[in-house]
Chain A
């Protein structure tokens, strides 16, 4: 019996070989083409390579779609799309408001202005264009909100502990920045703490700047709502528990109330420093 990918595989069915290609292992390579011909898996070398090609293509296709369909990847795409939609909508909004201001007297500022313009009845060709343009921006804003709803629905099933701790959107951002829930679960908490602050981190490593205290987790109330001199501690405590949450979510997937209580207590202690008045 050999470790070869074709051992026990049906020569006429690429998917049985594909499964072995994905799951199998061997301690060392060998002259597989010759072995395959000797074992009767293939008629000759050309036939072997043809079968190998069919099986590797099937294996690669299956493995890619499985990994890409994985829910954590969907969450990462959704949050990036949400950010794109928001950024683009804001960009369009600026143009709409600026343009509309030359045609109408009473244009509210910002995104309210865009919704206001989109709802108007154009009377001239120029108004028609600006209203149509505003409509696109509004559609994009709605899409952004739909994406957020999608993330809020999905995140708690994919990562229950992270979602409870960080909120669905920040959870999606952390997964996206780490490159997947698996990667996040394998990251040390120091990495989780500065995810999203890569520029500052590399500036620090080059010796040009102090080490960043927090990355994208700054958007959470636990960090932002803590007074400046305690933010480093808050970010460290928060990141520590987040990385534990990521590991539970990835390796077991069940909800553990105790880690949330522990974090809440720790945060209360850190914030109590402000009331005690010590520096």
Chain B
């Protein structure tokens, strides 16, 4: 465990409570302070939950990031606040409409309406050797998606992944689902750390890994 937050992410006080925050244009009605910092709600963001729990994400700030499962851009907006070039992939058109709005207010966020299961459909846009691959895709086969997208990641890069047990199998015990996912990641990734995110997200496992 570590408590080193990336540069550009700070714990600041909002309504008398210490919370994670980044500096940027507000996106989803989150509280902001006088210096332009906006609270990063860990209950609405798996990556926020991972940082809040003190997982060693290896993020230092300024990275090139590929974010799969960007949805409306809640989390990816915070990522773009502290990271460098940030590629945001989302499959569903409706959330991408919001994501475009988030990207318009940031000059390092590139929205892509693409299917994360089909990396060749965006390999002509997303550069190689990204420092960080963030994955929050609520689809069956989350491990397969991580393995297929391994090709974008630099050898010393990090995979930050939130696995949603219920996306794989609603009826199975989450622990069994997580074991299966970790087994499937094993050939492509070295698992550095895992933690249940239940404090913020029920039946989710946070994974930090690096390519093998």
Residues of A within 8 A of B (CB): 3-5, 20-22, 24-33, 49-50, 52-53, 56-57, 59-61, 63-64, 67-68, 202, 205-207
Q: How many residues of B contact A (CB 8 A)?
A: 29
Give CA–CA (A148, B123) in the complex, Å: 44
CB distance from A2 to the nearest CB of B (A): 8
Q: Decide: A21 and B125 in contact? CB cutoff 8 A.
A: yes
- Tell me whether A29 and B126 are in contact (CB under 8 A): yes
Expressed in whole angstroms, the Cα–Cα distance for A26 and B123 within the complex equals: 5
Which B residues are within 8 Å of any A CB, using their own CB? 85, 93-94, 96-97, 99-100, 103-104, 107-113, 120-121, 123-129, 151-152, 170-171
Looking at B104, B110, B126, which has the most chain A CB atoms within 10 Å of its CB?
Answer: B110
Per the bound structure, the CA–CA distance linking A258 and B29 in Å amounts to: 55
Query: Which partner residue on chain B sits nearest A52 by CB separation?
Result: B110
Interface of A, helix, strand, loop or mixed by DSSP: helix
CA distance A202 to B123 in the complex (A): 37
Q: How far apart sit A32 and B122, CA to CA, in the bound complex (Å)?
A: 12
CA distance A63 to B111 in the complex (A): 11
23 example contacts (A-B, Cβ-Cβ < 8 A) are as follows: A5-B125, A21-B124, A21-B125, A24-B124, A24-B125, A25-B123, A25-B124, A26-B124, A28-B128, A30-B127, A49-B85, A52-B110, A53-B107, A53-B109, A57-B100, A60-B113, A63-B93, A64-B94, A64-B100, A67-B93, A68-B94, A68-B97, A206-B171
- Cα(A63)–Cα(B94), bound, Å: 11
CA distance A67 to B124 in the complex (A): 22
Report which residue of B96, B108, B127 has the largest number of chain A beta carbons within 10 angstroms of its beta carbon: B127
Q: Is the Cβ of A33 less than 8 Å from the Cβ of B127?
A: yes
A164 CB → nearest B CB, Å: 29
Q: In the assembly, what is the distance between CA of A156 and CA of B94, in Å?
A: 25
CB distance from A30 to the nearest CB of B (A): 5
Q: Is there contact, CB below 8 Å, between A31 and B128?
A: yes
Q: A31 CA to B112 CA in the complex, in Å?
A: 18
Task: Knowing A28-B151, A56-B125 are in contact, say whether A63-B170 is a contact too (CB < 8 A).
Answer: no
Q: In the complex, what's the smallest C-beta–C-beta distance from B132 to chain A, in angstroms?
A: 14
Contact A59 B128 (CB under 8 A): no
- Would you give the shortest CB distance from A143 to chain B, in whole angstroms? 23
* Contact of A68 with B93 in the complex, beta carbons under 8 Å: yes
Could you tell me the distance in whole angstroms from the C-beta of B129 to the nearest C-beta in chain A? 7
Q: With a CB–CB cut-off of 8 A, which chain B residues contact A30?
A: 127-128
CB of B130, distance to nearest CB on chain A (Å): 8
Most chain B CB atoms below 10 A, which of A28, A33, A60, A205: A60
* In contact, B123 and A27 (Cβ under 8 angstroms): yes
Decide: A29 and B112 in contact? CB cutoff 8 A.
Answer: no
Residues of A contacting B171 in the complex (Cβ-Cβ under 8 angstroms): 202, 205-207
**With a CB–CB cut-off of 8 A, which chain B residues contact A202?**
170-171
Q: A25-B123, A27-B123, A64-B93 are in contact. Are A57 and B103 (CB under 8 A)?
A: yes
Chain A: CB-nearest residue to B66 = A29
Check B107–A50 contact: CB distance below 8 A.
Answer: yes
The distance in angstroms between the C-alpha atoms of A60 and B97, with both chains bound, is 8
With both beta carbons as reference points, the residue of chain A lying nearest to B99 in the complex is identified as: A60
Of the candidates B104, B110, B124, which one forms a contact with A4 in the assembled complex, judged by CB atoms under 8 Å apart? B124
Q: Are B125 and A32 in contact (CB under 8 A)?
A: yes
What separation, in Å, do the CA atoms of A57 and B152 have in the docked complex?
A: 21
B125 touches A60 (CB 8 A): no
